[in-house]
Structure 1
Amino acid sequence: MGNVSVKGVSRRFIKEGGTPTVALDNVDLEVKDAEFVCFLGPSGCGKTTLLRIISGLDIPDDGDIFLNNEKITGPGPKRGMVFQEYSLFPWKSVIENVIFGPLMGGAKKKDALKEAEKYLELVGLEQFKDSFPHELSGGMKQRVAIARALANEPEVLLMDEPFGALDAQTRNVLQGELLQIWQKKHLTVLFVTHSVDEAVFLADRIVMMTSRPGKIKTIIDVDLPRPRGRTSQEVNALRDQVLNILSEEKDK
């Protein structure tokens, strides 16, 4: 189960001698198990801050986060995080990167290796298990990062612009592969992006956020069947709707 509840969450940052910057202001959100939710909004609206709070890497000044009615107070294996930067250990091979989390969680190395190979096969990198990060392309590195997150058997996968640094072709391929993994694993996915096209292609719901201070402006249900054409009439209409909402916030 991967039900996430965000209740009255606010986050403020204070520089020494300065006034507080309100990143998030009283955010409420309910995410259902196995739902794919994308967060979209102007730069600096608190999308990544919210994701980090849900991961347990940051703490709110007000409010609480719950996973399956259990309050989140710090990082945990039930929430896997994939960052925009590849964040792999450069001195470890691909498979050593993937087994790192399970080993830290107390798994036996033989069992961890067996599971790691399964996840590397899932992301199409089983033939590169002994390679090192510097030998991989950007897209391959991000596949390793996804496999590493999945190796801990999380209930929620948190993704902070994971494909933002990739070229358009690779990005489109990985979006399709991510949907296949999501459907196979029945994960809850919370995905931060700046790309309207990406959000429309991936999401069950798009959470539109306001300019700072970050609040939820509206939530758009994406009631389109998968696989989705990227240029269909329905997709274009939804893209225009999202772009108009973003323009309203950028003009403020």
Structure 2
Amino acid sequence: MGMLEIKVSKVFEKDKDSTMALKDINLTVKDGEFVCLIGPSGCGKTTLLRLVAGLEPPTSGDIILDGKRIMGPDPKKGMVFQEYSLFPWRNVIRNVSFGLEMQGMAKDESEKIAEKYIRMVGLEQFKYSYPHELSGGMRQRVAIARALANNPKILLMDEPFGALDAQTRNELQIELLDVWKEENITILFVTHSVDEAVFLADRIAVMTSRPGEIKEIIDVDISRPRERTSPEANRIRNRILRLLEEERKSTKNE
């Protein structure tokens, strides 16, 4: 048994049409594991993440987190989106403390916890700044700190670095790994970047074209810190690229 057990299918109904987005997904994520989801555009990666977050119900099957069936959103599941989704009228510390305030925690106590995670992501000097005063990378650090402040069991990340320039993206990947090790948190991470998945993950779940299924799960048996262009990384990268190319060709031939 893992910390997260996913056995689901998902069908979207609209008018009289139905679209199967996910088919017979079977994925286990262990406690403290870093797992990446990768696959063709439209294969259901984000949908799967939303099911785990409790933002969408599965059509069939169950998702079990820490022994309990997921029935909806709750603080045990931290979510980080690509678009940052910060409150523009709140400064950094009040953005990070927001979830704690919603749980009824006193402002002084919630801001004390928020400060811990703001320090962790290297933004202590900017805790009173507002989102419009920050770079894209800094805003995403705030979003990560906000998710961590709620002490979640699992961190769900939907292409969190996809909108950033290459240098900032690489820096945040390294910082995320530092946070992951320090907090010993479980991470389920959606990405379109094969390089990113190989650099970050313990395991990579490669998905098929719609309806999304798990095509193959690849163990990334490379010690950390990883060299992005090492022979081992290139071997795994090429394997994933071959799997994705198979999906591209199968879709084209349909």
For the aligned pair, the TM-score class normalised by the smaller chain equals: over 0.9
Measured after TM superposition, the shift of residue 14 of structure 1 is: 2.0
User: Distance in 1 between the 2:26 and 2:234 partners?
Assistant: 29
User: Distance in 2 between the 1:225 and 1:107 partners?
Assistant: 40
Query: Which residue number corresponds to residue 217 of structure 1?
Result: 215
Query: Which residue number corresponds to residue 124 of structure 2?
Result: 126
User: Distance in 2 between the 1:14 and 1:109 partners?
Assistant: 43
Q: How does 1:172-251 map to 2 (within 5 A)?
A: 172-251=170-249
> Residues 31-84 of structure 1, C-alpha deviation per residue, up to 9 Å, x if partnerless?
100000000000011110000000001110101101111000000101100001
User: Distance in 2 between the 1:160 and 1:193 partners?
Assistant: 7
> Residues 163-207 of structure 1, C-alpha deviation per residue, up to 9 Å, x if partnerless?
000000000000000000000000000000000000000000000
Query: Which residue number corresponds to residue 92 of structure 1?
Result: 90
Answering whether residue 137 of structure 2 is matched by residue 155 of structure 1, we say: no
Structure 2 unpaired stretches of 5+: none
> Residues 119-147 of structure 1, C-alpha deviation per residue, up to 9 Å, x if partnerless?
00000001101000000000000000000
User: Distance in 1 between the 2:187 and 2:105 partners?
Assistant: 25
User: Distance in 2 between the 1:238 and 1:54 partners?
Assistant: 27
Query: Which residue number corresponds to residue 3 of structure 1?
Result: 3
Structure 1 unpaired stretches of 5+: none
Task: Return structure 1 stretches of 4+ with deviation > 3 angstroms.
Answer: none
Calculate the aligned-residue CA RMSD, in Å.
0.8
TM-score (norm 2): 0.97
User: Distance in 1 between the 2:62 and 2:116 partners?
Assistant: 35
Query: Which residue number corresponds to residue 64 of structure 1?
Result: 62
Alignment counterpart, residue 22 of structure 1, candidates 7, 16, 20 = 20
User: Distance in 2 between the 1:21 and 1:158 partners?
Assistant: 24
> Residues 91-139 of structure 1, C-alpha deviation per residue, up to 9 Å, x if partnerless?
1101110010001012111111111111000000011010000000000
User: Distance in 2 between the 1:94 and 1:27 partners?
Assistant: 37
* Number of residue pairs matched by the alignment: 249
